[in-house]
Structure 1
Amino acid sequence: MSFQKLDDLGNKLEALEHALAILGADEATYMAVGGGEKRAEAMSALAGMYHTRATAPEIADWIAAAEQEALGEEQRAAVSELRRQYTNLTCLPVEFVERQTTARMRCEQLWRDLRAKNDWAGFQPALEGVVALVREEAALRADVLGLAPYDALMEQYDPGNRTADITPVFTDLKAFLKSFVPEALAIQEARLRKRPLKPLSGTYAIDRQRELGLAMMAAVGFDLTHGSLSVSHHPFCGGVPSDVRITTRYKTSDFLSALMGVLHETGHALYEQNLPKAWSHWPLGKARGMAVHESQSLFVEKQLGRNPAFWRWALPVVEKHLGEAWSLDDILPHVHRVERGLIRVDADEVTYPLHVILRYELEQELVAGRLEVADLPEAWDAKMRDYLGLSTIDNPADGPMQD
């Protein structure tokens, strides 16, 4: 029975996915700096093994045969999703996958060091290599899928949506926000004149912030027996549904920065932990794209985590872990503060979409070859000036190197 063959294949592929995910999470958190080159080689080899097995020619025959079998509704959906995945995987040759895996990992490893030094010149060649591979990938996928290059890439992250769908939405939203941000800031300033902002004390020990984060994770439903919280250069949610790895970064001067990051990544983790376990070895049991995934993280961070009712409950928890008492009237102006800022992950609910739109626009230019990596700092700076009135030209670490 072909469905059973596909089911058996799924179990083998899931094991490789598990290994890659845990190795990747470890690489970004606990791996010694000197282990980067060999880790990249190992993950490139594993990615190649996965790709070879997942794109084997006989799989196409098994899928076609399974589609003719007497299957239940979920089984039919599972085969349909597997066909979609198989089509997308077979766009790329295995040697390309191995090459791209190595380049991405080595680039990120270099980024961790050079961002701290604000060294764009040192980082640029590595990023140029990654962008060249992205352009190559876009062309390979576009040829098979019959899509424009950027749409072919988007299909991997948000299946079914195209730039023709997204661009009009972002164009309208950008126009609204560019005029609304000054209005919001003016209203906020008037309120602060009546009630000045209570300053953060700036003495928040990292170990206490971590315990606060764990308490908040558990409170919103994160299963701590199937996940963990670590530190990384950039917050992320990785691992696998049975072992979700959340990371954040801390500032001793501001507990809200790390806490909001934890809530955001917990939103991702809740989605992963609640995927259908019976289908974990099929595409049907995995996230189909990043749109819904990101909606869950932003929901927990910006809708739940900025809600007055949430903070009415959370303030005693904050006091317990940080030893600092806040009234609801004092904390909410911090939580709801609108600010023109350089960093996307620290952005408030009003300005955050502008950071996303900036990246969306620059990505398209890079993929199409209309923008080169060497010119990215200037292009980034121009859009930041236009959208948020800020310059990053002398500070690439908080410009195109921030993510």
Structure 2
Amino acid sequence: MTSAYTALEKRFRRLSLLGEAVGMLQWDMSVMMPPASAGARSEQIAALKLLSHELMTDPVVSEHLDQAEETNGLNDWQIANLRRMRRRWLHTVAVPPDLIEATTHAATASETVWRTARPENDFPAILPHLQKLLSLVREVAVAKSEAFGLPVYEAMMDLYEPDATTAMVDDLFDDYTKFLPGFLEKVLHRQKTHPDPKLPKGPFPVHQQEKLCRRLAETVGFDFKCGRLDTTFHPFSGGVPEDSRITTRYDEDDFTSAIMGVMHETGHAMYERGRPKAWRYQPVGETPGLGMHESQSLIVEMQASRSRPFVTWAAPVMRSAFSGEGEAWSAENLYRWTTRVTRGLIRVEADEVTYPAHVILRYRLERAMIKGDLAPADLPGAWNEGMRALLNVVPPDNQNGCLQDIHWYDGAWGYFPTYTLGAMAAAQLFASAKEADP
């Protein structure tokens, strides 16, 4: 092992810890922080990101990368780690510090406004923030495009799914778009041959839902000695392997929504807990791409938690949690309820058949906005037309349309394709697991 490589490992360990600190501040901003504190939080996050940028853009890093890449004394893990270091370095040095700072402040301000605009169905309130953030995100994308020699959107997508191309994604999504209409009609027709499943009658108090969600999360492997469950507007998983932070949201009329949110985020958290400890603070010890990360959350949510054996076990647990009575609480009814297919409006509540359509819509719209073919002011109309074309439904308002996801409003452009890539991987991995161990 060369001294250059050793120095890089030490530096990337510091960078990893700084990134984790930013992540915890962002978790707090989404879950606990008072709304009026957003300005101070923005300064804190920007300061840490600028410090990380300084550590990465130090000229010695480039020298050490060059020196380490010329050595023959590294093992396979170290070679892979070095390759990811180089990619991480390229992503960082491509963007000037003033642009990082401006984007951080804009994203924090935008997310803060979104948290009010979404429940109030107020797209005009978020529009100027979206316009400003999009302009800055586009600048970042152009800078990375030049550094990587990639098309602008691919340079953005590379941060979340390295080496993915729009040609690859387009091929997959175009095939699905052609396949969906006929298949969806067959599924809906077949469903009509069975009695309609019924959601047990609520209300379902939040404290009882939370207790149930904790029980189910623990059952599939979440460890509350080093993790916690909280409430937020948009479910997500954060924290670090030793300190998992999962979130969900509750609907007192439908307890299954919170359950599936928790199962999804539990999958993310368990994947993080399983990262190789020997490479805890190194790039090679992190996920190779968000598609794989999403596959692990979707295996738990879409595959395991909707399986007949799991629902058969969980049905009496659910019934007991709410002192339920009647046929609606039977395992068979709950299984059919959790596996039903509908032309729904909300991505995070979508079934396995229609889920990719929600992702394809977002992928197409964000590419159009990045390219400049779609103005943010026209997003609601384009969203509604896209939903009509893909699923033949139109949201009644923007809260159930273009305001439902946080990604565009906190700067995570290029992320959406990973959801469907992950869903495809999850289905294949789960099928292989069942074949290996029926």
How high is the TM-score relative to the length of structure 2?
0.88
Structure 1 residue 178: Cα displacement: 2.0
Single out whichever of 231-240 and 56-65 deviates more from structure 2: 56-65
Q: RMSD value over aligned CA atoms? A: 1.4
CA displacement 1:212-267 (0-9 Å, x = unmatched): 11111111112222211100000001112221210000011111000001001111
SS of residue matched to 2:33: coil
Match of residue 12, structure 2, among 10, 13, 17: 10
Code of the residue aligned with 1:144 in structure 2: it is A
Partner of 2:256: 256
Q: How does 1:17-32 map to 2 (within 5 A)?
A: 17-32=19-34
Query: Is this contact kept in 1: 2:231–2:247, CA < 8 A?
Result: yes
Structure 1 residue 163: Cα displacement: 0.5
CA displacement 1:127-173 (0-9 Å, x = unmatched): 11111112111111111111110111111111111001110110010
CA distance in 1, matches of 2:159, 2:109: 22
CA distance in 2, matches of 1:169, 1:11: 37
Structure 1 residue 283: Cα displacement: 0.6
CA displacement 1:374-398 (0-9 Å, x = unmatched): 1111111111111111123x51111
CA distance in 2, matches of 1:361, 1:105: 25
Structure 1 residue 66: Cα displacement: 2.2
2:183 equivalent to 1:184: no
2:352 equivalent to 1:349: yes
Partner of 2:428: none
Partner of 1:317: 317
Partner of 2:63: 61
CA displacement 1:334-360 (0-9 Å, x = unmatched): 111111111101111111110001011
Partner of 1:72: 75
Partner of 1:375: 378
SS of residue matched to 1:116: coil
SS of residue matched to 2:193: helix
CA displacement 1:307-340 (0-9 Å, x = unmatched): 0011112123223323225222111121111111
Match of residue 176, structure 2, among 163, 173, 178: 173
CA displacement 1:193-221 (0-9 Å, x = unmatched): xxx43342112111111111111111111
Partner of 2:421: none
SS of residue matched to 1:28: helix
Query: Is this contact kept in 1: 2:25–2:45, CA < 8 A?
Result: yes
Partner of 2:301: 301
Unaligned runs of 5+ in 1: none
CA distance in 2, matches of 1:383, 1:11: 44
Partner of 1:362: 365
Percent identical pairs in the alignment equals 39
Code of the residue aligned with 2:219 in structure 1: it is A
Partner of 1:385: 388
Q: How does 1:202-281 map to 2 (within 5 A)?
A: 202-281=202-281
CA distance in 1, matches of 2:96, 2:272: 29
Partner of 1:87: 90
Structure 1 residue 69: Cα displacement: 5.6
Single out whichever of 324-333 and 41-50 deviates more from structure 2: 324-333
SS of residue matched to 1:396: coil
CA displacement 1:248-289 (0-9 Å, x = unmatched): 000111110000010011111111111112212111111222
SS of residue matched to 1:247: strand
Query: Is this contact kept in 1: 2:199–2:254, CA < 8 A?
Result: no
CA distance in 2, matches of 1:258, 1:18: 26
Single out whichever of 310-319 and 231-240 deviates more from structure 2: 310-319
Q: CA 1:199–1:222 in structure 2 vs 1: closer, same or farther (change >3 Å)?
A: closer
Structure 1 residue 92: Cα displacement: 0.8
Code of the residue aligned with 1:174 in structure 2: it is T
Partner of 1:400: 402
Unaligned runs of 5+ in 2: 406-438
CA distance in 2, matches of 1:150, 1:227: 35
Give the 4+ runs in structure 1 shifted more than 4 A: none
Partner of 1:140: 143
Partner of 2:54: 52
CA distance in 2, matches of 1:235, 1:205: 19
